[in-house]
Amino acid sequence: MTETVNAYAKLNLFLDITGIMPNGYHYLTNVTQSVSLYDTVTITAEKSEDFAYNIYCDNSEIPCDKSNIAYKAARVFFDEVGFDSKVDVAITKRIPIMGGMGGSSVDGAAVLAGLNRIFGNPLSKESLCALGEKIGADVPLCLIGGTLLSDKDGIRSLNTAQNDECFFVCVQPDFKSSTAAAYSLYDRQPIEENKAVENFLTVLSQKGMAGSAKQLYNIFTVLYGDNRIGEIKDELLALGAAGAEMTGSGSVVYGVFSDKSRAKSAEIALRNKYPRVFICTPVKCGIDIL
């Protein structure tokens, strides 16, 4: 059987590190928004006596081996359900690689959800999220999707202001960022926790994405202190963005626009300067099984 899944990217609206766990991982306060840019993941599987796996991707930068999170997702799924399968996964890649938009995590989420559908939904969404945690901290966020707050108390969905229409102009520069290196920066020079998240959540619920955009925050922007990121933010603000910030550990920077025509003008203005500039909008799901 075959299932095709649209796997939606995400943006970090507020991202802070609040401490280090005993195992070396980090406590986060993380407000995320799923957006309309997506990878398409097609999963074909049938039961077999032994586990066999093939992965295909239209982007040569993606490793098609056991290091791919899609492989890890399939492996933990079949370990959980107690049988094996032959699995083929084909990924059409649109989400920037190493851009901070959750591209690998959402592909893993798509494989978990697609396999679950193929084999008759043996696992609840809660169980899938628990499996997702084993392969990546962002995978449960991608399985749930929409507007989310995740912290040491878990994940919860957020309500934003009614009629909250906005447009994200995303800029992919000509440099990439390593997530592991980003967290190592924090380990070497921890930054005090940003206590503004509660106020951000209040404004987000009352005034929506554009209304809260002046309070966007990303600890990695502070840690990097990279003038190239600051320059892109300034350009987006000058072109009419209500606020601008980097997403994840980078390197994509986005601006929040309340007006579609202004967003389009900004995209056109920046298109010739940076490798990739695109517009996306908020969506209410992380994955969509077609």
The pLDDT, as a whole number, for residue 162 is 67
Nearest Cα residue to 261 out of 238, 235, 239, 234: 239
41 token code pair:
């993941």
The pLDDT, as a whole number, for residue 163 is 66
Strands 253-257 and 147-151: unpaired
Distance CA 180, CA 189 (A): 15
- pLDDT tens digits along 159-188: 887 667 899 999 999 998 888 888 999 999
The pLDDT, as a whole number, for residue 220 is 96
- pLDDT tens digits along 212-267: 999 999 999 999 999 999 999 999 999 999 999 999 999 999 999 999 999 999 99
Does residue 221 fall inside a structural domain? yes
Evaluate whether 21 touches 85 at the Cβ level (below 8 Å): no
Helix (H, G, I), strand (E, B) or coil at 207: helix
> Which of 132, 155, 178 is the endpoint of a domain?
155
| Residue 129 reports pLDDT greater than 80 | yes
Nearest Cα residue to 90 out of 164, 27, 5, 205: 5
Range of the domain at 61: 2-155
Plot region of 19 (φ>0 → left; ψ -120 to 50 → alpha; else → beta): left
243 token code pair:
């606020």
**Strands (DSSP E) found in 134-286:** 147-151, 154-157, 167-172, 217-218, 243-246, 253-257, 276-280
* Same domain? 143 vs 6: yes
The pLDDT, as a whole number, for residue 177 is 84
Nearest Cα residue to 280 out of 290, 260, 272: 260
Residue type (1 letter), 40: T
Distance CA 152, CA 144 (A): 17
The count of residues in the chain is 290
Distance CA 209, CA 212 (A): 5
Strands 217-218 and 2-20: parallel
The pLDDT, as a whole number, for residue 115 is 98
Q: Which CATH number is 240's domain given? A: 3.30.70.890
Does residue 289 fall inside a structural domain? no
Q: Which residues contact 111 (CB under 8 A, 6 or more apart)?
A: 41, 43, 70, 73, 74, 77, 89
Does residue 161 fall inside a structural domain? no
279 token code pair:
């517009």
Number of domains the chain contains: 2
Q: Which CATH number is 97's domain given? A: 3.30.230.10
Distance CA 50, CA 126 (A): 27
Distance CA 266, CA 262 (A): 6
* Same domain? 173 vs 56: no
> Which of 155, 186, 205 is the endpoint of a domain?
155
* Same domain? 142 vs 177: no
pTM of the predicted structure, to 2 decimals = 0.95
| Residue 151 reports pLDDT greater than 90 | yes
- pLDDT tens digits along 71-100: 999 999 999 999 999 999 999 999 999 999
Helix (H, G, I), strand (E, B) or coil at 112: helix
Average pLDDT, the chain: 95
* Same domain? 22 vs 89: yes
| Residue 17 reports pLDDT greater than 80 | yes
Strands 84-92 and 26-48: antiparallel
* Same domain? 119 vs 171: no
Active site residues: 10, 138
Distance CA 246, CA 255 (A): 9
Residue pointed to by tokens 């955009």: 213
- pLDDT tens digits along 20-45: 888 888 999 999 999 999 999 999 99
